[in-house]
Structure 1
Amino acid sequence: MRYNFQFDIVKHRRKFFALSIIITILGLLSLAIFNLNYGVDFKAGTNFDINVGQTTDQAKARDVLTQAGYTPASPPTIGGTNSDRVTVRFDKVMSQEDETKIGAAFKSAYGDQVSMEVNTVDTEIAREMGRNAIIAVLVSTIGIVIYVSIRFEWRFAIAAIVALLHDAFIVVSLFSIFRLEVNLPFIAAVLTIIGYSINDTIVIFDRVRENLRFAKLKTFQDLADLVNRSIWQTLTRSINTVVTVLIAALCLFIFGSPAIRLFSLAMIFGLISGTYSSVFIASPIWLVLKNRSLGSKAANAAVEK
């Protein structure tokens, strides 16, 4: 008896594959042409975190810097509405003299209560942090592949790793296309997304494996029905989970400080991409791989007869 689906996900798998391929190509083009907009964490530069002791705004902070003869890499950011914190980033390492002049300029505009914290990253440290970030993503990905291979089978592992790379690359591509700053919180967001995505994918895979125990698979349609049924049986759980986390990420993005705004935005991109890949990419890829084994079994049976 066929399962009565509201929407046949498997039937439209090629459309979802095509959409992901198109986004991937656009992301590759953007990275090739524009690269990423690296923050001070991944390139040499200096970051000033200034507490001016009174409510300020971006225009006034920019005027202070202009009058002092400095142009930051990006407009100064304010901690939020009625905030007294100003963050200024320069894409070069500032000297002690520059730091003193900037501090004096803000004290002249806001008073002696101004305090300032300066963080400088030189070229070698920036390169090392970039290497460590790549290693962290690779190690976490390899660990996930090993875990899925042991708990399930190699077909599930391949489908899971494709979905993980898909999610991470979608977030990276969007940050490249919209020229959003890539910093250490961004890497933390990518690692969080990888963990969330594999959790969502494994929930679906676990249901697929459970349904396999009672299924008699002879044709591709039998396998397609099993995958569709497994997805729909876990879809409510997936939607509830992503909506709950998405609300939290949106609140952080809207009401949080600028320091975590890009982290929140990366999480929003990743949550949407992770849910999409778990439902529309990972499971159909496993279906394609599994169907090949069914074809091999059928061919072997025919030869034996």
Structure 2
Amino acid sequence: MSRLGNLGARLYRGEVGYDFIGKRKIWYGLSILITITAILGLAVQGLNMGIEFKGGAVFNTPKTSASVSQAQNAAEEASGHPAIVQKLGNGGLRIQVSELDTQQADKVKTELSESLKVDSEKINAELVGPSWGEQIANKAWTGLGIFMILVVIYLAIAFEWRMAVAALIALIHDITITVGVYALVGFEVTPGTVIGLLTILGYSLYDTVVVFDSLKEGSKDITKQTRWTYSDVANRSINSTLVRSINTTVVALLPVAGLLFIGGGVLGAGMLNDISLSLFVGLAAGAYSSIFIATPLVADLKEREPQMKALKKRVLAKRAAAAAKGESADDSGQPQDGVPDDAATDDAATAGAVVGPRGRGRGRPSGRRR
């Protein structure tokens, strides 16, 4: 078995673990800082909207020896507006100029023909109206709203309303960060960007639902035992699915990174930049939020319940009594040597039902040993 696979097995059995829930205030603070930075970037710089949203013209030239900078200067001088120029695979150029009408587009086409030394008849000019992009944006917002409502309803039915609320907050967190990154790096927002944003919503929910499913299974009949709090079980759920989340995220990020850094950066394919950046940032943010935002939020909301407060009080009282007697168990009920404590058998039957996995380490909570 590989080293990573061995670590995953040990995390699943509860032999090792990291206290994600115990350090949730650190994750909350980090997420708030990142979100505020994204919002500030959006407010100060704004989004670089493509011509599909602002309106304008796109000029596709035949193969030419002119450089991208030469074409950009020529287009900006002819139109009086900023231009975006991309090199095409056939040696031609794609020139975008916003806020042009038909008459202005004809003038720009003629001057580009002279500046780039290409036949005017071979330059393909397309006018794009802002209403088309506005329709796409409105439909995207409508689709996003419907998606959010359906997600909340489904999670509330399949799990519980606290998990639905936590997942919704995590989704808003991921979208805000992705949009903020677009504002900070200045990438153009096109219909491809909108498609990418809608796509990451499903990926963002994937890891979250996996952890929630483990948490739902692990917290059955939790109030019938006195060894673990709800936060302990939530922490175990994160650790038991951690390697799986990392593997699926890395596998998904690798091809997207290829599109972003090779396809967009080296080949200069504009549409690849638009969709791949939103996918790359959204996938990374989704994996982060499922571990550091969604599940800790569920634990916080759940432990506000009276029965969970009473359970936590009983668990802490039992641990204090065990510590006073000098028993060799840490504050989570786990023996310090990592081997199940044979003396602590009073909750053994219930413990097996709470944690889930069978075999060595059955019923053992995760968390860093002290």
TM-score (norm. length: structure 1): 0.85
The answer to whether the Cα contact below 8 Å between 1:56 and 1:83 also exists between their aligned partners in 2 is: no
Contact 2:21 2:235 in 1 (8 A): yes
AA at the equivalent of 1:118: E
Q: Does 1:17 align with 2:28?
A: yes
Structure 2 residue identity aligned to 1:116: N
Residue 211 of structure 2 is aligned to residue 200 of structure 1 = no
The whole-number CA distance in structure 2 between the counterparts of 1:188 and 1:21 is: 26
Cα pair 1:53 1:110 within 8 Å, conserved? no
Q: Which residue of 2 aligns with 1:267?
A: 279
Task: Please tell me the residue identity of whatever aligns with 2:128.
Answer: T
User: Which one of 141, 160, 163 corresponds to residue 148 of structure 2?
Assistant: 141
Matched, 1:46 2:56: yes
**CA 1:176–1:111: 2 relative to 1, 3 Å:** closer
* Contact 2:72 2:83 survives alignment (8 Å): no
Match of 2:296 in 1: 284
Match of 2:110 among 81, 104, 122: 104
Partner of 2:328: none
1:233 and 1:55 map into 2 onto residues whose CA distance is 58
Please report how far the alpha carbon of residue 83 of structure 1 lies from its aligned counterpart in structure 2 after TM superposition: 4.5
Deviation at 1:216, TM superposition (A): 4.8
Please tell me whether the aligned partners of residues 72 and 90 of structure 1 are also in contact (alpha carbons under 8 angstroms). Answer: yes
Q: Aligned-pair distance for 1:225? A: 1.9
- Gaps spanning 5+ residues in structure 2: where? 1-12, 264-268, 315-370
Partner of 2:67: 57
What TM-score does the superposition give when structure 2 sets the normalisation length? 0.71
Change (3 A) 1:48 1:131: same
Name the counterpart of 2:129. Answer: 121
Sort the Cα spacing of 1:296 and 1:208 in 2 relative to 1 into closer, same or farther, 3 A: closer
Q: Does 1:155 align with 2:162?
A: yes
Give the Cα separation in 2 of the matches to 1:279 and 1:297.
Answer: 23
Deviates more, 1:159-168 or 1:34-43: 34-43
Q: CA RMSD in A?
A: 2.8
CA separation of 1:244 and 1:71: change in aligned 2, threshold 3 A: farther
- Is the partner of 1:53 in helix, strand or coil? coil
171-180 vs 232-241, which deviates more?
A: 171-180
- Equivalent residue letter for 1:280: F
Counterpart CA distance in 1 for 2:227 and 2:196 is 38
Q: Name which of structure 1's ranges 82-91 and 217-226 shifts more when overlaid on structure 2.
A: 217-226
Identity in percent:
30
Between stretches 276-285 and 135-144, larger displacement belongs to 135-144
Q: Deviations over 1:37-90 (max 9, x none)?
A: 2222222x2131404234653123224425x623442431223xx652422222
Q: Which amino acid aligns with 1:10?
A: I
Distance 1:146 1:41 in 2: 34
Is the contact between residue 57 and residue 99 of structure 2 (CA under 8 Å) also seen in structure 1? no
Higher helix share: 1
Alignment of 1:198-277 (within 5 A): 198-213=205-220, 215-216=222-223, 222-256=229-263, 257-277=269-289
SS at match of 1:32: helix
2:160 partner letter: E
CA 289–115 in structure 1, closer or farther in 2 if over 3 Å, else same: same
Q: How far apart, CA to CA, are the structure 2 residues paired with 1:41 and 1:130?
A: 10
Go from structure 1 to structure 2 and tell me whether the alpha carbon gap of 1:111 and 1:183 turns closer, same or farther (over 3 Å shift).
closer
Q: Deviations over 1:247-270 (max 9, x none)?
A: 111111123211221211111111
The 2-side partners of 1:278 and 1:30 are apart by 24
Instruction: Write the deviation string for residues 161-207 of structure 1: whole angstroms up to 9, x where unpaired.
Output: 01111101111112223333222111111111111001111011111
Q: Is the 8 A contact 1:217 1:223 kept in 2?
A: no
AA aligned to 2:178 is V
Name the larger-Rg structure: 2
C-alpha distance in 2 between matches for 1:219 and 1:99: 75
Contact 2:56/2:101, CA 8 A, preserved across alignment: yes
The alignment covers a number of residue pairs equal to 294
Counterpart CA distance in 2 for 1:232 and 1:100 is 62
